[in-house]
Chain A
Amino acid sequence: MNGTPWWRDRRVLPWLLQAAVGLAVLVLVALLMTNLVRNLSAAGLLLSWRWLGQPAGFDLSETLLPFDASMPYGRALLAGLLNTLRVIVIALLGSSLLGALVGMAAFSRNGLLRGLARVYVEVVRNVPLLLQLLFWYFLVFLALPDGRAALQLPGLVLAKSGLYLAGFAGGSWQGPQLLNGSWQAPLQLSVEFGALLTGLITYIGAFIAEVVRGGIASVPRGQWEAAGSLGLHGVATLRHIVVPQALRVIVPGLTNQYISLAKASSLALACGFTDLYSVAETTLNQTGRAVEVVLVLLAAYLAIDLLISAAMNGLNRLVQVRER
């Protein structure tokens, strides 16, 4: 120690600093919590979870779990969570597909296609999602005709009353049918769900397109040329040479986009879809348990976020391992 006082010791100081910071944070948190408990008890709102078991008294549309108004709040929140998860999973797949296509379109020979891909990305990325959801719902999906005039595509009918998809029903493949003026199909989605999905997929798809474009651009041009001189076909070059290298850059970027997708799904109320946030809002209004409901929301979204992060980290490891 040769006479250095302990408070100037290189080995002690950082720990001292850390302990001080840690202590300060702890004291701050303790102070805030004391306040919270005091203020909440003054307002008669101390934390309590009994409301979770009380009947909700409101109805939900298109849930995966059977639900009606006599079931408890807890189940309503669970039904909302499942709806949120459904949106996230489908939008995740859809935006990845769209993003990959548009990202690759940036390298197309067709100038118009390249330009359009550019315009799409620039327009969609720079307009707030909330506005886009309103656009898709009110100006596109609610402008669809209904009944006989509905937009009919092979295996898919788009009408104001909903989206009708072909699927297996009763062991056989069935398309949408018009019965007594209303459409019936094995798979039905509401236009709210459709608008939310379309909005999320086009919005996140634009960001993913940029990630994909950046990933492909990061592969040196020599790699393309070398593959070409080896006699590899365009698609084969892409599959065996470019994509494996590009993925190393793409996957970390994708993780961020997926996480922001999960959180963006909480704007579902803008186009009338009942997701976790929407159920939580109604619950909060009816029970007045602001702190508890927000805690539930935070925990649910944090769990989704961690799940996506963990899955993508696994994927990332898989992609990076190929480096020999």
Chain B
Amino acid sequence: MRFAGKLRRQGWVRVSLLRRLKTAAPLALLLAACGCASDSGGGVSSVRMAAIRSHGQLICGVDGQVSGFSSVAANGRYQGFDVEVCRAVAAALLGSGEKVEFRNVTATQRFPAVASGEIDLLSRNSTVTLGRDAPGGNAMSFAPVVFHDGVGVMVPLASGITSLAGLGGKPICLLSGATTEQALTDGLRRINRRYVPLKFSTIDEMFGAYQQGRCVAVSIDRSALAAQRTTFAVPAAHQILPAVLSKEPLAPATIESDPAWADAVRWIVYALFEAEEQGITQANVAAKLAEAKANPKLAERRRFLGVEGNLGSQLGLGDDFVVKVISAVGNYGEIYRRNVGEASPLNIARGPNRLWKEGGLLFAPPFR
């Protein structure tokens, strides 16, 4: 009976402890709720930026499985276009492009992951749409478009199909959970055609099924079509139809409730465009900076590189954030070339992703 008494006493202790916990929990909650808004960047108040600084790392959501945009190299390093956008932001905020923690997010997870604060920045070739931007939809805040794409369709030359109308009633391979699906459905409905959708969860599987002849066409962003075609045994045996089914502007995204953070990301991306326009590259940024410091007449460049004015501090970044970004990853053109352009196996033409001066769509508002 002594045992029983002891147990009972212990049970009692446990109960009272629970009670104490219950009263303590709301207190902890309050504390957690109030631990906000302590900023360290030049009077700019951003919960997210403060959190990133105290964490010492930018948490960046990427796909992780798209050739040229994000994948893991044999030495374990993340590489790709989307990855370098993350590195650029990390360089601006934390001074080093290496202070990034990459997290693979799936198409389904990406927006909840941003909304719940799981990731600081989403750089996972996501299309900007009204539904994703609007507060009543996915409630994202999108940075400028970093890659202009459009949904296209690829068919084997041997199939004899030359236009969308030829796809009626045919099986088409698609990626599940991407905007492709809606674009293709809309495009074919316009011309009163239906098709048989075959959905896959990864690009690899989708193109695998296409190459094995399961579907007569495969549909995804045209950049990805071009990229994957280069890996086929006979690339010339496949044709990308001229029809562009939709606009797919791909952009990084942040949480809507933190406009200061969204502004910072927006201008970091603009800085990539602007640097290309001013001819500032990873290799010559130090020289250009020295030049700007020495020559007060180069006012535009001096402002851009933070030699004069306080543009960076206004964003809550350092005034020299552009220098840090370009030293870490280079300008937009360099990022493009390395990962998806002629210096990569994918070799996708710049197309609409040229600067506005060269007839493209990339345009940065003035840095002043």
- Chain A residues within CB distance 8 Å of chain B: 7-8, 13, 16-17, 20, 24, 27, 31, 39, 42-45, 57-62, 68-69, 134, 137-138, 142-143, 146, 160, 191-192, 269-270, 272, 274, 278, 281-282, 284-286, 288, 290
Query: Considering the complex of A and B, which 6 residue pairs feature the smallest CB-CB distances, nearest first?
Result: A142-B212, A288-B138, A285-B177, A61-B196, A44-B135, A43-B115
Inter-chain contact B182/A142, CB cutoff 8 Å: no
B interface vs A, CB < 8 Å?
5, 8, 11-12, 15, 18-19, 22, 25, 29, 107-108, 111-112, 115-116, 131-132, 135-139, 171, 173, 176-178, 181-182, 185-186, 189, 194-201, 205, 208-209, 212-214, 256-257
- CB contact between A288 and one of B25, B137, B196 (< 8 Å): that residue: B137
Contact B176 A24 (CB under 8 A): no
Inter-chain contact A57/B186, CB cutoff 8 Å: yes
Q: Which residues of B contact A43 (CB under 8 A)?
A: 115-116, 139, 256-257
Contact of B176 (CB < 8 Å), options: A39, A61, A281, A288 = A281
List of A residues within 8 angstroms of B135 by Cβ: 44
Q: How far is the CB of A22 from chain B (nearest CB, A)?
A: 11
**Given A8-B8, A24-B22, A31-B25, 17 other A-B contacts at CB below 8 A?**
A8-B5, A17-B11, A20-B15, A20-B18, A42-B257, A44-B135, A45-B115, A59-B194, A61-B198, A138-B208, A142-B209, A160-B212, A269-B176, A278-B199, A282-B199, A286-B182, A288-B131
Q: Which residues of B contact A62 (CB under 8 A)?
A: 196
- Is the CB–CB distance between B213 and A59 below 8 Å? no
The residue that A272 contacts in the complex, of B25, B199, B213, with Cβ under 8 A, is B199
Given contacts A17-B15, A31-B25, A269-B176, contact A59 B205 (CB under 8 A): no
With A43-B115, A43-B139, A274-B199 as contacts: A68 and B213 at CB distance below 8 Å: no
CB distance from A195 to the nearest CB of B (A): 10
Are B197 and A138 in contact, CB atoms less than 8 angstroms apart?
no
Residue of A nearest to B9 (CB): A8
- Of all chain A residues, which has the CB nearest B177? A285
Partner of B213, one of A31, A39, A142, A288: A142
A-B contacts, 16 listed (Cβ < 8 Å): A8-B8, A13-B11, A17-B11, A24-B18, A31-B29, A58-B185, A138-B205, A142-B208, A142-B214, A146-B213, A160-B212, A269-B200, A269-B201, A272-B209, A282-B199, A288-B111
C-alpha spacing A16/B12, complex, angstroms: 9
Grouping DSSP codes into helix (H, G, I), strand (E, B) and loop, the A interface class, with mixed when no group exceeds half, is: helix
- Give every chain B residue within 8 A of A69 (Cβ-Cβ): 185, 189
B212 and A57 within 8 A (CB): no
User: Shortest CB–CB separation between residue B5 and chain A, in angstroms?
Assistant: 7
Q: Are A282 and B212 neighbours in the complex by a CB distance under 8 Å?
A: no
* B136 adjacent to A44 (CB under 8 Å): yes
A7 contact set on B, CB distance < 8 A:
8, 12
Compute how far the CA of A69 lies from the CA of B136 in the bound complex, rounded to whole angstroms.
23
Chain B residue at minimal CB-CB distance from A7: B12
How distant is B236 from chain A, measured CB to nearest CB, in Å? 23
Q: Are A13 and B139 in contact (CB under 8 A)?
A: no
Q: Once the chains are docked, how many angstroms separate the CA of A42 from the CA of B255?
A: 11
Q: Which of A24, A57, A281 contacts B182 (CB 8 A)?
A: A57
The reply to whether A58 and B197 form a contact with Cβ atoms under 8 Å apart is yes
Does the CB pair B107–A285 fall under 8 Å?
yes
Residues of the B chain whose Cβ atoms lie less than 8 Å from the Cβ of A42: 257
Query: Judging by beta carbons under 8 Å apart, are A290 and B25 in contact?
Result: no
B340 to chain A, nearest CB (A): 24
Assuming the contacts A13-B11, A61-B171, asked whether A39 and B185 have C-beta atoms less than 8 A apart, the reply is no
- Which of B22, B176, B205 sits near A278, CB closer than 8 Å? B176
- A191 proximity list for chain B (CB < 8 A): 214
What residues on A are CB-neighbors of B111 within 8 Å? 288, 290
CA distance A137 to B181 in the complex (A): 22
Q: Which residues of A contact B25 (CB under 8 A)?
A: 27, 31
**A270 to B202, alpha carbons, bound, how many Å?**
8
* B-side contacts of A192, CB under 8 Å: 198
When C-beta atoms are compared, the residue in chain A nearest to B111 turns out to be A288
Residues of A contacting B22 in the complex (Cβ-Cβ under 8 angstroms):
24, 27
Residues of A within 8 A of B200 (CB): 269, 272
Residue from the list A272, A282, A290 in contact with B177, Cβ < 8 A = A282
> How far apart are the CA atoms of A31 and B19 in the complex, in Å?
15
Report A-chain residues with C-beta under 8 Å of the C-beta of B212.
138, 142-143, 160
Cross-chain contact B199 with A68 (CB below 8 angstroms): no
Residues of B within 8 A of A281 (CB): 107-108, 176-177
Chain B proximity of A113: nearest CB distance (Å): 33
Q: Give B255's nearest chain A residue, CB to CB.
A: A43
Chain B residues in 8 Å Cβ range of A274: 197, 199
Q: Bound complex: CA of A45 vs CA of B111, how far in Å?
A: 12
Residues on A with C-beta less than 8 A from B213 are 142, 146, 160
On whether A45 and B197 interact (CB within 8 A), knowing A138-B209, A143-B212, the answer reads no
A134 touches B205 (CB 8 A): yes
User: Does the CB pair B8–A13 fall under 8 Å?
Assistant: yes
Bound-complex Cα distance A143 to B214 (A): 9
Given contacts A24-B18, A269-B201, contact A282 B176 (CB under 8 A): yes
In the complex, A39→B32 CA distance in Å?
14
Return chain A residues, CB-CB under 8 Å to B199: 269, 272, 274, 278, 282
Query: How many angstroms between the C-alpha atoms of A134 and B189 in the bound complex?
Result: 32
Cross-chain contact A61 with B108 (CB below 8 angstroms): no
Q: How far is the CA of A137 from the CA of B135 in the complex (A)?
A: 41
Chain A residues with CB under 8 A of B19: 20
